[in-house]
């Protein structure tokens, strides 16, 4: 039997190295399922990493949750889904805190919540209440986060102790104080260029994968005779009318002429040889 401490350390390492690739998420999910006996400890690892790491890593872990629930459900393991549902409020608050540091992660939270709702892991009412709860957290200085500011989603969520003394003199009592602006040098929140570039690349990778699967049709039945894509096309296509029949007839005539011409060319080339 595996050592519990070793399992926690290994899983924590996998969470820390999550990125936009599907393989990294599946690797961590498979490891969590392999050690489902320690599901409580591994779930606590997820919460700890969400509360301790950078905004980049928190977004990656948030994207990882649906993959973990999918792998667990396929194997009949329901503990991870139940614990995720139980602690979803804490998870959302960690990924997109209300201090303004996680403004760029609000969009990530909304996207993952809708994914979890669509897959049946969360109720629509719960998702609606959570989206209402985080409303306004993507605002900086009273306005929405612009695309340029979204690229700075990798800001360090923790104010360093050496900078903490500056905050009391710069924070105003207004809802959108200067301390909430990640671009304000007096806010006490530092930008890391490397993390910003990493977030840009990861967002680009996720967007590319989303476009690759945009036309995919989920195959509900395991029976190969049930073609979900064909059935959708059949339902969406309009009924055949006289114009369609006339068009098909003309195309058939054109094809027959083209085939006849090709036969003549082939026979002429053979005779010339």
pLDDT in tens, 58-84: 999 999 999 999 999 999 999 999 999
Of 57-71, 148-162, 194-208, 215-229, the range with the lowest mean pLDDT is: 148-162
Radius of gyration of the chain (CA): 27
Contacts of 247 (CB under 8 A, 6+ apart): none
Q: Is the pLDDT of residue 182 over 70?
A: no
Question: pLDDT value at position 137?
Answer: 85
In this prediction, residue 152 carries a pLDDT of: 41
Q: Which of 81, 110, 80 is nearest to 95 (CA)?
A: 110
* Nearest alpha-carbon partner for 65 in 103, 106, 95, 34: 95
Q: In the chain, which ranges are continuous DSSP H helix?
A: 4-16, 22-34, 39-52, 55-74, 79-86, 88-95, 106-118, 124-133, 147-150, 161-164, 167-170, 193-212, 228-236, 242-272
**Looking at the predicted structure, is the pLDDT value of residue 250 above 70?**
yes
Q: According to the model, what pLDDT value does residue 88 have?
A: 96
More confident residue, 233 or 106: 106
Among the listed residues 56, 58, 48, the one whose alpha carbon sits nearest the alpha carbon of residue 11: 48
- Confidence tier at 221 by pLDDT (50, 70, 90): low
Token couple for 50:
């969400």
88's tokens: 């979803």
**Predicted confidence (pLDDT) per residue in 7-47, tens digit:** 999 999 999 999 888 889 999 999 999 999 999 999 999 99
Which among 110, 104, 179, 196 has a CA at the least distance from the CA of 144?
A: 104
The answer, yes or no, to whether residue 107 has pLDDT greater than 60, is yes
Domain ranges in the chain are: 4-134, 228-270
**111-167 pLDDT tens trace:** 999 999 999 999 999 999 999 999 888 775 444 554 444 444 333 333 333 333 333
Cα dihedral 41, 46, 50, 55, rounded to 10, equals 150
- Residue 271's pLDDT is 60
This prediction's pTM = 0.61
Q: Which residues contact 242 (CB under 8 A, 6 or more apart)?
A: none
For residue 130, give the nearest of 120, 122, 118 by alpha carbon.
122
More confident site: 112 or 203 = 112
Phi, psi dihedral angles at 144 (to 5 degrees):
-70, 155
- The pLDDT, as a whole number, for residue 224 is 58
Fold of the 4-134 domain: 1.25.40
User: By C-alpha distance, which of 102, 80, 75 is closest to 11?
Assistant: 80
């Amino acid at each position: 039997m595996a050592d519990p401490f070793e399992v926690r350390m290994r899983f924590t390492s996998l969470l820390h190295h999550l990125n936009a690739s599907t393989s990294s998420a599946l690797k961590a999910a498979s490891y969590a399922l392999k050690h489902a006996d320690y599901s409580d400890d591994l779930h606590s690892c997820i919460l700890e990493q969400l509360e301790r790491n950078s905004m980049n890593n928190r977004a990656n872990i948030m994207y990882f949750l649906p993959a973990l629930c999918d792998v667990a459900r396929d194997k009949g393991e329901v503990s991870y889904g139940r614990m995720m549902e139980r602690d979803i409020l804490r998870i959302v608050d960690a990924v997109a805190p209300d201090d303004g540091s996680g403004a760029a992660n609000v969009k990530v939270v909304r996207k993952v919540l809708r994914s979890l709702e669509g897959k049946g892991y969360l109720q629509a009412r719960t998702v609606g209440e959570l989206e209402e709860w985080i409303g306004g957290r993507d605002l900086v200085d009273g306005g929405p986060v612009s695309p340029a500011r979204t690229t700075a989603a990798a800001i360090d969520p923790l104010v360093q102790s050496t900078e903490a003394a500056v905050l009391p003199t710069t924070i105003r009592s207004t809802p959108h104080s200067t301390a909430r602006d990640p671009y304000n040098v007096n806010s006490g929140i530092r930008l890391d260029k490397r993390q910003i570039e990493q977030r840009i690349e990861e967002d680009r990778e996720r967007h590319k994968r989303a476009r690759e699967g945009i036309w995919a049709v989920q195959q509900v039945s395991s029976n190969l005779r049930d073609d979900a894509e064909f059935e959708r096309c059949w339902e969406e296509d309009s009924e055949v009318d006289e114009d369609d029949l006339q068009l098909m007839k003309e195309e058939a005539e054109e094809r027959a002429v083209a085939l006849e011409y090709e036969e003549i060319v082939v026979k002429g080339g053979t005779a010339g040889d």
